[in-house]
Amino acid sequence: MIAICRKELADYFTSVRFVILFLLACLASAGALYAAYAGIRSADIPTDFLFLGLFITPGEAIPSIFTFVNLMALFFIPIIGISLGFDAINKERSNGTLSRIMSQPIYRDNVINGKFLAGIFILFIIMMATLLIVSGLGLRLIGVPPTSEEIVRLFLYLIFTIIYGAFWMGLSILFSTLFRSVAISLIATIGIWLFFSFFYILMIAPAIADAIAPIANGAVEARIHNMELLLALSRVSPSYLFSEATSVLLNPPLLGSLGVITLEQVVFMIPTPLSLGQSMILIWPQLTGLIALTGICFAVSYVIFMRQEIRST
């Protein structure tokens, strides 16, 4: 398995795909960083978490979608994950190299495990490099060093992004096992990504929530039901899970609940930032959900690959 992992890594590092993705991630992060720098003075962030503010502040005139974390969650991590896995198995099959490898004395699962591991390693490298670049540039720009808690939060953010990226990679590996054609597996994965990241959250979940719990007469209970249903439905989407998790992780001054809070309840809340432990408790379900989704995708592709027949014709 190590041999396969090494070969896959060598292939990735020398391929155009990797260079393009890396450059894209770096450039977009640099853009988001610059926008954040421009807007950070006007944003109301406690000094303890100023460094983290670099990652979550939108620019002045730019819509809030263009923060670093949002960009990552919605665009880059899924794209990186998908491009790492969409031709994992069917490229070998169509090139004829799969029969050749399978006639060597190796266990069949080493092939798919090796590819998955190599993908995770590449994800780790890209994400860490991007984070370090943004941190370094940010440090240079605002001159405020991160506190130890911020460093821990950033490290946890790195772990989260790797899990999230691994989910998309697992999904694309699943489709590459199911479909013979590389193009179809790519299109299917991209379709699912677009659906769950954009259309579902913006259009379909609200429509379902409105259908099941309509706000007929504007009463508070009806509104609360509607919003809670909307939240529950949105959490089906992995992008939403990830955004929720990272927004709590990187934005400690956030009020201590992810649900619907009425103004009356807000009055009673203590306006100090959440500690690390409390933040983690809040987002533990999201993390578990993401890990579970990744695990399921990988398990299904594993089982399918083990049962498939390897013919070159």
Partner 1 sequence: MLYLSLCDSADGDEMSQGIIVETKDLTKSYDGTTVVDHLNLRIPEKEIFGLLGPNGAGKTTTILMLLGLTEPVSGSARVCGFNPTREPLKVKRLVGYMPENIGFYENLTARENLDFIAQLNNISAAKAHSKISELLGVVGLGEVVEQQVGTFSRGMKQRLGIADALIKEPKVVFFDEPTAGLDPEGINQILDLIASLPQIGTTVVLCSHRLYEVQRVCHSVAILSKGKMVVEGSLDELGREAFAGGRYLIEIETSQPSPQLLDIIKGVSGVAKVETTGNLLLINADSDLRAEIAKVMVQNDFPLTQIKIQEVTLDDIYMRYFHEG
Rule CB under 8 A: say whether 17 interacts with partner 1.
no
Interface with partner 1 includes 3 (CB under 8 A)?
yes
In the set 107, 143, 211, 277, which binds partner 1 (CB under 8 A)?
107
Residue 306 CA from chain centroid, whole number: 28
Report the C-alpha gap between 225 and 229 in whole angstroms: 6
CB of 26 to partner 1, least distance (A): 25
Considering the complex, what minimum distance in angstroms separates the CB of residue 165 from partner 1?
25
101 binds partner 1 (CB under 8 A): yes
Which of 42, 47, 103, 217 touches partner 1 (CB under 8 A)? 103
Q: Residue 146 corresponds to which tokens in the numbers above?
A: 């991160």
Q: Residue 102 or 207: which CB sits closer to partner 1?
A: 102
In whole angstroms, how close is the CB of 113 to partner 1 at the nearest point? 14
Does residue 58 contact residue 35 with C-beta atoms inside 8 Å?
yes
- Report if residue 142 touches partner 1, rule: CB under 8 A: no
Q: Measured from the CB atom, is 91 or 235 closer to partner 1? A: 91
Task: Report d(CA 252, CA 274) in Å as an integer.
Answer: 5
Among 39, 66, 99, 133, binds partner 1 (CB under 8 A): 99
For residue 209, which amino acid is it? A
Give residue 17's Cα distance to chain centre: 19
The answer to whether 36 and 68 are in contact (CB under 8 A) is yes
The single-letter DSSP state of residue 167 is: H
Binding of residue 262 to partner 1 (CB under 8 A): no
- Based on CB atoms, which residue is closest to partner 1, 91 or 223? 91
| Contacts (CB under 8 A) with partner 1, residues 65-84 | none
Residue 104 CB, shortest distance to partner 1, in Å, is 4
- Range 94-102 contact pairs with CB under 8 angstroms and sequence separation of 24 or more: 94/180, 94/182, 96/312, 98/310, 98/312, 99/310, 99/311, 99/312, 102/310
3-state secondary structure of 88: coil
Nearer to partner 1, 20 or 212 (CB): 20
Q: Give least dist CB 84 to partner 1, A.
A: 17
Distance CA 309, CA 13 (A): 30
Q: Does 303 bind partner 1 (CB under 8 A)?
A: no
Burial 189-215, CB ≥16 within 10 A → b, else e: bbebbeebbeebbeebbbeebeeebee
Stretch that binds partner 1, among 76-84, 90-98, 121-129, 177-185 (CB under 8 A): 90-98
Query: Interface with partner 1 includes 312 (CB under 8 A)?
Result: yes
Interface residue list for partner 1 (CB under 8 A)? 3-4, 7, 11, 14, 95-97, 99-107, 309-313
